[in-house]
Structure 1
Amino acid sequence: MSDESIEVVVVRVFTDERGVNGNELGIVRSSAVTAQREQPIATALGFSETVFVDELDEERFEAAIRIFTPARELPFAGHPSVGTAWWLAESRTPVGVLREKAGDVLVEVDEEQEVAWVRARAEWAPDFEWLPLQSPEDVEALDALAFTTGHHYAYAWIDEEEGRLRSRMFAPDMGIIEDEATGAAAVALTARLGRSLRIEQGVGSELMTELLEDGWVRVGGRTVYDRTIDATL
């Protein structure tokens, strides 16, 4: 890589009501500088996911995005979709659709509440090994370094009647030791359990899902701006 720099906007997705915690997301406007270099850029940045906004059609309210973990490109991911939707609205370039490799992701943003929702399908998510446990304490006791391959999602009910879960996700194959908040897993688990959920993941991130018809699920949460960095390539 040469000594060129790019601007990276960092937001935190799925924060709690106070705007605390959440999963960091790097957002980059694609350019000649980033073209064909997305994976090494995402690897160097080190966020669980980095989004590259390839095209923005303000007349049609659409944006095309690509999503990369430190190890690979993903056809769909929840926290990048929610975070990018919120950031575009915050930047006064709102969209109703994010065009991703998995398909068109419909977007809704409530700017007053700082909540963004996206609509997705469970089959767009990676294949997770589901680890249902007996209690939130069992989830919290897991050792992230014990997971050396694959994609693992551990969860336990906080309140089954209310649909509240405690969860953690480990994805060494994606270059992610532990993910702070995982929207795609929330979508897949909602479809798996057949009900809407409120999920507390990681250190203290909060995700909301809504089970829709015909295999669709909405996943949403709060996003806040964190910082902007100049990354040297």
Structure 2
Amino acid sequence: MKIKPLLALCRISNLPTVWMNVLTAMVLIDQAIPNSVQWCWLPLLALALSAFYCGGMVLNDLCDYSWDKQHQPYRPLVTGSVSVKTAVFIACALFLTGLVIVALAPFALMGMLAASALFATIVIYDVFHKQTAASILVMGLARALVFVVVLMALSAQWLQWVLIAAALQFVYTLSLTFVARYEHIRGKPYRGPVIPRMIAGMAVIDGALLAIVVSPVWLVAGIVLALLTRFGQRYVRGD
């Protein structure tokens, strides 16, 4: 089996935006509670939340298989480059990986509660998103819960700026999802890669917030991860 279809199935090019979400949450926790963050958890939680994201993308394609056969025939499951059986195994493995890592975090109980909420939100969205326009709220909630998982796993406290960061991504994800749905409704693609650029913009949103709250240098981190997202999207579709 070729690796590129697997990467496309997982939308792996979008992962830098998830990493920026995790980084933002950790920086804001450290700002609120100085010297409380164990930075060894940055790669571990980035891996966990990446697993949730990729698992959600795989499950999305499994749920949308019939629809994609008519509207998006380039999807790896539809072309047969990845089998349905393999996709089910990958989705289960990814979700399990995310849950296991969070279960090892400093505040495992609160982290697992948040991770379970994220998992449930992903499943609800993937199963029902073609049935109701209200599902865009669920999509926004899933992105916001990335911050909550990190917050609960590392501090078990409701910290204001982390929740504000989550709220900003919730609103931004709503706008992104609305724009993507309108593209399908209008029946023709936008001029230029509007959706991929908006996805990459998630990292810039986080960087801008950190620049205001912590230090302007964090805007550079957001821009770098946005550019990394766009670079990846040149090779693996992120929409």
TM over 0.5: no
Which is bigger in relative contact order (C-alpha 8 A, separation at least 6)?
2
More strand by share: 1
More helix by share: 2
